[in-house]
Structure 1
């Protein structure tokens, strides 16, 4: 049982997924001190028993999951970006509150939110969660997209005589100097990461996912300017040439990578780049796009990259590329983020490796391994539990039994 305030002191775990060693520890106690973990040790009734124990003795307890590619703000309606213009900033933020709650209660205690079309609403949501105004995961926010004019980070399915508000084009940049300026402006507004759109996008009407949209010099300027503020760059890249330019320029992550081959895999290994494939959304779109009336162009582009995206993940697993977990949650409903874990296992990962992609690897990618990503002394008490004290069926993470964030029982 827990105290009336839902503050957890001790957890009895039937099993613990030790993602640092790759082992499963049986019948252990997790002792908390405030919002952090004080000790992880074999369970002892004389030492750990009491009224403030959360009994998860029939469960596997894992670190809180991390999704490195979410969009909590607003809603993608009918597979088009233009409906983002039909609501107010308040509506976008309130939708974000709902999405944040669903994400946390699904076991994802940290997310990287890689941009909203209306700039910096994601940062406002992050700050609201941190100050206790609303419930949600820890957020690492991009604030706005760095994108070329009419590129993959723009709303492109409007008539040419419709002028977009400044907040929708805050990071638009078309030269080395403009890229540097955009990065500075985004950093000044409180972003935690810089998101750059290096190729066309599936959902940006008229753009080509395989076509590069920035030169290597522009991408290097983006990385260099971000580094001056202690920030790194996440690069949206479907096509291989765009990804290679971003990798050589020093981007920390390649997002999506649906059209990548052996050259990009070798480059990511050489440069230590993390790969954040987002494949679960493909299955979702294949099953739901027609009934949700997605534009024909979106459906065609999704179909075109589907087989290649899955092959790219298999190739990355075989090559030993560092794969960090990200889903592109907004294309599918928030709270279903764990659906991709099973795909990773299907394509060659062990269940432990899939779990590590969403915990220790993702935490390393964020540069936050001292705080999140493992059940270890000193880290935040961010935990998720699933029924059955084993790690044989990774799909169980789609139906969690308990979530703890910072020592507080969420569900």
Structure 2
């Protein structure tokens, strides 16, 4: 009995003296139930949320209090489509020849911090040079500041396709890139390319199922993988514990990817109702990237900003994404939040919320798409996307209630990631 009493005293003593961080929140977004709740205290210990309490809890002597009583607080945001290694500029196409991996890495480190300061505590990087893997690891080890990264490493394309790294180069430089470089021609190549991405450290696989707007190639919407090739990519990825994202603008390439079992369709610019119905049938998510579409359509009007071959594609396809998204949402397609940051300036990811709301999605639903929806796609639904006991303490705040004024999402004023405050 005396031993039990001593243990109880020790637990009581150390439990009461352990520091907790109390966030006094004027409002919080209950993403699970789609509600705005008033006057709550979020209690954080270490990297986790311990509990959420009604009212403003009085702190113990050792506790730290963060006053967010005039803010709206929500889970850390998740962007499912970024390119964190670089950023749009008129010289972007020359950078492949002028920047070393070290240059890319230092640029990416700055971009990562900017992304976190915008409230995005988790991102999915859908294709770069491979620096994104090292960046993910450095952030995870606390060596640099940035969001949690899930990366596809190098995107997969076909010869001459959207992700062929030699497009636009002179013939002496083009060579004949293959699966190691992320170029697929046939089922065997598909398996080898996926396995190479796994070997290189990828978390996801990305394919370019159709042409793209910003590749130095004429067609921005033609199908570029056979359905058998996509199915092989999906099966190989499944074998190695990964899912597949498919860049797609045109209908045929989109439909092949959906039938083959990809998890997400990126952009979906020219989707019709038949394709929307197919997405519903297969449970495929749409990541619309409205921000990117608007940006490229705008910049294509500036002489010399993009190579001439890109301009007609940017003008034709970019402006259609928001209307397509409105149709897809109305038809009941599942929507995941993603921006394609890098195609436009990183840190402006929050504009996507406004564009989604303009197209008819309720403000609360846009917030859920960037939290619980994306957490589920990443298989992190029990760790990310909610303000609840046991979840990772990724917490952000804005000045106003976004369900009343969605533009406030463009100015995140408080950022906590894994219990550490990075912006206040």
Question: How many residues get paired?
Answer: 403
> Are 1:296 and 2:312 an aligned pair?
no
Other-structure match for 2:187: 176
Give structure 1 regions of 4+ aligned residues with deviation exceeding 4 angstroms: 47-51, 164-169
- Which 5+ residue runs of structure 2 have no aligned equivalent? 1-18
TM-score by length of 1: 0.93
209, 217, 230: which one aligns with 1:206: 217
Deviation at 1:48, TM superposition (A): 7.4
> Are 1:401 and 2:416 an aligned pair?
no
For 1:249-268, what per-residue CA distance to the aligned partner results, in whole angstroms no more than 9, with x for missing partners?
Answer: 00000011111111111111
Deviation at 1:168, TM superposition (A): 11
For 1:219-238, what per-residue CA distance to the aligned partner results, in whole angstroms no more than 9, with x for missing partners?
Answer: 00000000001101001111
Other-structure match for 2:126: 114
Other-structure match for 1:124: 134
Q: Distance in 2 between matches of 1:298 and 1:8?
A: 53
> Are 1:237 and 2:221 an aligned pair?
no
> Are 1:42 and 2:33 an aligned pair?
no
Q: Kindly tell me: are residues 109 and 291 of structure 1, through their superposed partners in 2, closer, same or farther at Cα, counting changes over 3 Å?
A: farther
Other-structure match for 1:277: 288
Other-structure match for 1:100: 112
Q: Kindly tell me: are residues 218 and 361 of structure 1, through their superposed partners in 2, closer, same or farther at Cα, counting changes over 3 Å?
A: same
Deviation at 1:307, TM superposition (A): 4.0
For 1:33-65, what per-residue CA distance to the aligned partner results, in whole angstroms no more than 9, with x for missing partners?
Answer: 211111112124446798611000000001111
12, 26, 29: which one aligns with 2:38: 26
TM-align CA RMSD: 2.0
Other-structure match for 2:271: 260
- Which 5+ residue runs of structure 1 have no aligned equivalent? 1-6
Contact 2:194 2:236 in 1 (8 A): yes
Other-structure match for 1:146: 156
Q: Distance in 2 between matches of 1:288 and 1:380?
A: 39
Contact 2:243 2:262 in 1 (8 A): yes
Q: Which has the higher mean CA deviation after the structures are superposed, 390-399 or 218-227?
A: 390-399
Contact 1:15 1:390 in 2 (8 A): no
Deviation at 1:367, TM superposition (A): 1.3
TM-score by length of 2: 0.91
For 1:288-337, what per-residue CA distance to the aligned partner results, in whole angstroms no more than 9, with x for missing partners?
Answer: 44166222332221110134322210111101111101111111111000
> Are 1:362 and 2:374 an aligned pair?
yes
Larger Rg: 2
Other-structure match for 2:23: 11
Q: Kindly tell me: are residues 358 and 8 of structure 1, through their superposed partners in 2, closer, same or farther at Cα, counting changes over 3 Å?
A: farther
Q: Distance in 1 between matches of 2:156 and 2:24?
A: 46
Q: Distance in 2 between matches of 1:183 and 1:374?
A: 32
